[in-house]
Each structure stands twice: as C-alpha cells, then as structure tokens.
Amino acid sequence: MKHLKNIRVALAILFFLPIFLYLIDFTGKLPMQMHALLKIQWIPALLSLNLVIIAILVVISLLFGRIYCSTICPLGIFQDISAWKSRFFSKKKKKFRYTYKKPQNILRYSILALTVLIFVFGSSFLVVQLDPYSIFGRIVSQLLRPLALFANNGVAAILSNMDNYSVFKVEQLSFVPVAFVITLFFFVLISIMSWFSGRLYCNTVCPVGTTLGLLSKLSVFRISINESSCNQCGACEKSCKSQCIDSDAMTVDQSRCVSCYNCLSVCKRSGVNYQFGYKKQKAEVSQTPADGSRRTFLLTSGAVISTLAFANAKTLTGQKEDATLTRTPIMPPGAGSIEHFNTKCTGCQLCVDKCPMQVLKPAVLQYGISGIMQPHLNFSTHIFCSFDCNICSSVCPTGALKEMPIEEKKLVQIGVAKFRKDKCIVAVDETDCGACSEHCPTQAVHMVPYKNGLTIPEVIENICIGCGGCESICPAKPYAAIYVEGNKTQIAANKPAEAEKFEKKIDDFGF
C-alpha cells in the first residue's frame, strides 16, 4: 500500500516533464507528436469528442478516483510542486501541516454550473479561463517561455559576438498585456492557494476537479479509515493536501480526494485503507449531506441565475459592437467557422507557441469576451502565415483547428486581401514597390501596369488565402495599403492557375 504514493509521483513526473518541456520548447527539436500528451487532457478530449480518451478517463476515475488530477493534469502537478516547495520555506520545516477543512460546496458547484451553463448558451468563456490544462499552457507560454527565450537570446548574443552561431536568437513577439495579466493573476492565485492549502484550487475553483469529484464519489477503490486500527494520531490529516480527511470523525471526503496516497504512506498502523469500498460508502454518502446539498443546490442555482442576468448575453456569446474593432479577426487555418472555433478553443496557447512565424497571438476582444486568449493572426513586418506550414492545426488538442494535409491547407482561405490604392506607395509617391506581390504565395496579389512604366498591385480574391504576406510587408505607414479582412467562415480558395511552361530551347547567351 505504501508504495502507491511512489507510483503516483513517478507517473506524475512521467506526464508532467514531457508536457512542460514540449510546451516550453522553442527550438522545434522535440517531436510535434508529443501533443498526444495534451489530447488526453480532460477538456481537450471532451471538446474534440475523443470518445476513446473520454471512456478511458471515466473508467479510471470510476475505478481509482481522481487519478487524473494527481498524475495527468499539468496544473495539478504544478500545485503539488508549489505545495512541496513551500515546506522548505515554512518556519518549522514540517513535512506536512494540513488540517481538515470543510468543502466550499457553494463556490465549487456554482462555478461548475456556471461553466456548463454558459457553455450550453454558446460561450466558452469560463471553459477557456478555467480549463486547468489551458491555464498551465498559458503559464508556460506567457510567463515561463519568455524567460527561457530571454536566457537563450542572452547566450546567443554572447556567442554571436564570438562568431559562434550555434545558438540563435528567437524573437519574443507574443507579448499581449491582457493575456499576460490574466495569466499572471491565475499564476499568483493558484500558487498562493497551493502554497498554503494544497489542492484548494482544484477543489474550489477548477470545474474539472469538481466534476471528477462528483464522479469519484462512485469510484470503486477509495481511501477510507479503518476505525479498529486507527488511533486518531492525525498523521493522515496532516498529510492530506486536499484537506479532506477528518481524523476526529474518521471520515474522508471522497469528492475532494485526489488519490495522491500521501495518507497511505504516512499511516504507521494501517489505519488508512485503499480498498474496494463501494457498498459501504454509498449508504454513507446519501446519509449525511442531504440537507446541505439541497441548500447548496438552491444557492448555486440562485448564484448562477443572477450572474447570467447580470451578464449581457450578447457579450457572452462573443458579438462585438465596438466600431474601432472593424476588422473581422483572422482565425488560424482549420478553424472552420467563427462559432465552431470560439466554442472549441480553450486558449491553451499551444499553437501560439508552436507557430514558427509567431503570427498567432492570444486575442484580447477581437472575438468578444468569450474569446479572450483564443489565438488570432496578427501581422507585422516579416510576420505572416507561412504558406508551407500546417503546424497549428496539427498540434491543436481540442479539435478547434481541424488537422489537414499541407496541400489542403494551402487552399484554406482564412481571409481576403483588400487593396487601398489611396495609401499605396506606387500611387502616392509614383515609385515602384511591389513588396505585397513579392510576398504573395499564390500571386492573388499581382502587379498590373499603372503609369510611367510603373506597376501597381491588384487582388484576385478567389485565389487569395489571406496569409497576410502582403499586409506584413507593406511599407505604407502607419496603415498598410493592403490588409487582410478575416473570413467568418473559412472556405476553400481556387487553385491559382499555373504559368505557361516555356518549352523552347535557348542556346544563345543573348548578349
């Protein structure tokens, strides 16, 4: 029994380390297939309707409880690390110092109900903000990755001064203040909660934790206290980072137990058991908290309804009326329609991190409130969607971006270039430019005769894929003479016509 904890720790490291390294990797050296580790996360599996993964996760929970929270969820492991580290800073250097706390039922069930309800109403606002895997993704993307890049670039600068180019500079471009602040808020909140109270966040805020808590009430194997051998020493209670063991009452709150098995490893008298406990527990559960749960339910629904009433339904579903945000946001290729994308994307920032062009950025209000953190394309000099690349759609764990072969991606129209002659260098300065056409992979933007031997761009919309090469390089400042208007529904562009082949044989120099 005692080794169960070690197995749990080993498993957690086995999941956490690759996920962490994969998310932070900016060199592209780690295999892209590692995104499989993210597809087995709860919310991504649910959103992508990956029935096999869902079934496996449900079975595991029904058998052993919240194993997911203790081993697979990177945010859970992050909290364990935080809680574990805090020990070295506490005055008494005590290994375990938890005490039993009552569950925050109103809060946790309200949050879960709100998350589900708002999602059903068509906005994934709370799913995006509260999915634990995605929060972890954002912590890496917004807080830790920039530090790694900073270190890398420092090394690169020193080496390049010594004519060594083995480490090269990677530009930091994805900084978006709103995304940073929100991520920092969650980082601080979760760090503090876990530092002082273990898994309090998982058992109070996290909707996945709450759901799994409900599920694990039915689990086959569970922690229980053996009343005959227990001497109420309280060691298990002190070691319980979920603060769900009440050693005085000799009860374990199954809904909050994350199956970490710390209690098993500290009990010296085999007073804590992990065993088949289906029948016995069932009666217990229905017994005590009946009154409480009804009250909780009423309060919960009250909270939910009032929140919904306060929140303008329109804002929640992501429609915006702000005139300054006139451009339709440009979704990554494979997003399908804006409704599909906004519903499925959890803003985990994986595509943002993996985009070799760094053209993807977390949205602020481009998609409305519910789309905060969801990626959109943001063009700037040399930053546009690479024609020969489908990395974003191939790594997306939630199915928000449909995976597709590269030849198909090359025809996905994510937006359409709009040319504004009155701002174009050729018309204004009467000098040649053509930077836009140069960067156009399909030649949807091509140069046509203007005057005095000059040529000016023209757009063939049905072969434009909206990659933004033209907008990114347009030298007209501050507003580009050519820009991409996003498509609300991505469609297939026509295949550009091939040039006429030159068959004649040339065997003269011509000069």
- CA-to-CA distance for 101 and 267, rounded, in angstroms? 20
One residue of 388, 407, 478, 479 binding other proteins per CB under 8 A: 388
Q: How far is the CB of 332 from other proteins (least distance, A)?
A: 16
Nearest-CA neighbor of 90 among 273, 238, 309? 238
Rounded to 10 deg, the angle between the 51-64 and 207-216 helix axes is: 60
Q: How far is the CB of 153 from other proteins (least distance, A)?
A: 9
CA atoms within 13 A on the CB side of 24: 19
- Under the binding rule (CB under 8 A), the answer on residue 509 touching other proteins is yes
- Under the binding rule (CB under 8 A), the answer on residue 412 touching other proteins is no
Of 349 and 437, which has the nearer Cβ to other proteins? 437
What's the residue count for the chain?
Answer: 511
Q: CA dist 466 to 77, 90, 327, 333, Å? A: 40, 55, 13, 10
Q: With CB under 8 A as the contact rule, which of the stretches 94-102, 259-267, 382-390, 413-421 interacts with other proteins?
A: 382-390
One residue of 209, 329, 362, 496 binding other proteins per CB under 8 A: 496
Of 248 and 438, which has the nearer Cβ to other proteins? 438
- Under the binding rule (CB under 8 A), the answer on residue 121 touching other proteins is no
**Which are the contacts of 140, defined by CB distance < 8 A and separation ≥ 6?**
20, 23, 24, 349, 353
CB atoms within 10 A of CB 110: 20
- CA-to-CA distance for 145 and 139, rounded, in angstroms? 8
One residue of 227, 291, 322, 507 binding other proteins per CB under 8 A: 507
Q: Would residue 336 be called left, alpha or beta, if left means φ above 0 and alpha means ψ between -120 and 50 degrees?
A: left
One residue of 168, 185, 276, 278 binding other proteins per CB under 8 A: 168
- Under the binding rule (CB under 8 A), the answer on residue 501 touching other proteins is yes
Q: With CB under 8 A as the contact rule, which of the stretches 299-307, 372-380, 411-419, 493-501 interacts with other proteins?
A: 493-501
One residue of 88, 89, 479, 511 binding other proteins per CB under 8 A: 511
One residue of 87, 169, 327, 340 binding other proteins per CB under 8 A: 169
CB atoms within 10 A of CB 151: 10
8 Å CB contact between 493 and 413: yes
8 Å CB contact between 242 and 218: no
235 is written with which tokens?
């060691």
- CA-to-CA distance for 423 and 471, rounded, in angstroms? 12
Nearest-CA neighbor of 66 among 274, 211, 197? 211
- Under the binding rule (CB under 8 A), the answer on residue 381 touching other proteins is yes
Q: How far is the CB of 487 from other proteins (least distance, A)?
A: 22
Report the number of secondary-structure helices (H) and strands (E) in the chain: 25, 10
Of 26 and 84, which has the nearer Cβ to other proteins? 26
* Sole residue written with tokens 């939630």: 398
Of 236 and 355, which has the nearer Cβ to other proteins? 355
- Under the binding rule (CB under 8 A), the answer on residue 377 touching other proteins is no
277 is written with which tokens?
């406990």
Residues 128-167 that bind other proteins (CB under 8 A): 157, 160, 163, 165
- CA-to-CA distance for 187 and 449, rounded, in angstroms? 56
Residues 416-455 that bind other proteins (CB under 8 A): 425, 429, 431-435, 437-439, 441-443, 446-447, 453, 455
Per-residue contact flags (x/-) with other proteins for residues 72 to 111, judged by CB under 8 A:
----------------------------------------
Of 248 and 430, which has the nearer Cβ to other proteins? 430
One residue of 171, 248, 284, 339 binding other proteins per CB under 8 A: 171
- Under the binding rule (CB under 8 A), the answer on residue 499 touching other proteins is yes
Q: How far is the CB of 468 from other proteins (least distance, A)?
A: 12
Q: How far is the CB of 24 from other proteins (least distance, A)?
A: 18
What DSSP string runs through 197-234?
HTTHHHHHT-HHHHHHHHHHTT-SEEEEE-TTT-----
Helical spans, DSSP H, in 251-337: 262-266, 278-287, 290-310, 313-316
Residues 21-50 that bind other proteins (CB under 8 A): 28
Pairing of strands 375-377, 455-459: unpaired
330 is written with which tokens?
């440009």
Residues 304-363 that bind other proteins (CB under 8 A): 356-357
Number of residues in contact with other proteins under rule CB under 8 A: 50
- Under the binding rule (CB under 8 A), the answer on residue 249 touching other proteins is no
Q: With CB under 8 A as the contact rule, which of the stretches 105-113, 250-258, 371-379, 385-393 interacts with other proteins?
A: 385-393
- Under the binding rule (CB under 8 A), the answer on residue 382 touching other proteins is yes
Interacting residues with other proteins (CB under 8 A): 28, 157, 160, 163, 165, 168-169, 171, 356-357, 381-382, 386-389, 425, 429, 431-435, 437-439, 441-443, 446-447, 453, 455, 473, 475-477, 496, 498-502, 504, 506-511
